[in-house]
Amino acid sequence: MQAGGLRAAVGCAIIYNMKKYAKISTITVLLLAVTLLSACGLLRKAEPTDPHAGMIEVYNGAENAWVRPWRGVALSTLTREDFAMGDGSVVTYTGTQYRVQQGVDVSYFQGEIDWNAVAAAGVEFAFIRAGYRGYVDGGIFPDERLEANALGARAAGLEIGLYFFSQAVSPEEAEEEAQWLLDVADDYDVTLPLCFDWEAQVDTGEDTPRTDGMLGREMTACAAAFCKTIRDGGYTPCVYANRWQGYYDYDLSQLADADLWISAPGTWDDFYYAHTIWQYSYEGHVEGISAAVDRNLRFLPITE
């Protein structure tokens, strides 16, 4: 090998070894860094993400489920231990936070009612259907037994409130319903709230409900418009809702100024948010009412 070739070979060997040692040094430095970070507790395995972070577990009427809570809405303080079953599937309150009244809600479906017998059975209040909007044609109609029920219940000494079975599809229609209810309430001695009762109707394939496909935000807007009109008319507004509506549909943070009437049948009041009325049965039996009737408890805070 000539001198020039030898020098080139030696140079290549030196460069190769320098790169080799540089690579080894880099790996060594990285290994040392990882070891030091691990020793100091700075390099940890990523923790698994909680899929339910910021959520609450509730019974939604069909199953236990995780839902996002409404912000700024007062929570219920009721527990299972606050309730007991009485005779005839009557739920009684045994807690100490509230004075509680037994009540019913009725419409023409209950037929003729002996209100004196109802009062004698321990019922102290009644919510009476004043009217409803047709779920197809959208007309407003009075309940056939409004006058008989309102006058009969008051004469028997019960407190009464009125509710309107809504099928409003806009805030304007909800305001119309509220004004109609205000006009009716002035004819009776109403001491309890005037309530918005919006319920979804099943599409049978023959008559498509006018409310079919309404979203929760649209329902909330209707309820809010109804409640504002009632409040402006000098009465206490109330929104009736089942568990599903309360957890998924109505934004309760926008209805905080209204009383909440929760339909949650069961042996104890498990609804997560604070409310003033609990409908605990759809199949109640009360002396003086021949048909099955909804049973309710009304919670009145005890103030010292």
pLDDT tens per residue, range 9-45: 434 443 344 444 445 466 665 666 556 555 555 546 6
In this predicted structure, what is the pLDDT of residue 61?
95
pTM of this structure: 0.84
Q: What is the pLDDT of residue 5?
A: 47
What is the mean pLDDT of the segment spanning 212-235? 97
* Residue 284 phi, psi (nearest 5): -75, 160
Confidence at residue 32, expressed as pLDDT on a 0 to 100 scale: 62
H helices present in the chain, as ranges: 3-39, 115-120, 146-155, 171-185, 216-232, 243-244
Q: Of 30-39, 48-57, 239-248, 288-297, which gets the smallest average pLDDT?
A: 30-39
Q: Specify the length of the chain in residues.
A: 304
Distance CA 102, CA 94 (A): 13
pLDDT at site 41: 57
Nearest C-alpha neighbor of 122 from the set 149, 103, 142: 103
The mean pLDDT of 207-234, rounded to a whole number, is: 96
CA-to-CA separations, 175 to 73, 95, 132, 142, 254, in angstroms, rounded: 24, 38, 14, 16, 16
Whole-angstrom CA distances from 285 to 78, 103, 136, 160, 291 are 25, 12, 32, 19, 7
Separation of alpha carbons 60 and 220, rounded Å? 18
Q: What percent of the chain has pLDDT over 90?
A: 79
More confident site: 31 or 161 = 161
Distance CA 180, CA 292 (A): 28
pLDDT at residue number 16? 40
- pLDDT by residue (tens digit) across 189-214? 999 999 999 999 988 778 899 999 99
Give the pLDDT score at 111: 97
All structural domains of the chain, each given as residue ranges with its CATH number in brackets, are 76-301 (3.20.20.80)
Question: Using one digit for the tens of pLDDT, what is the confidence trace for 86-122?
Answer: 887 899 999 999 999 999 999 999 999 999 999 999 9
Confidence of residue 128 (pLDDT cuts 50, 70, 90): very high
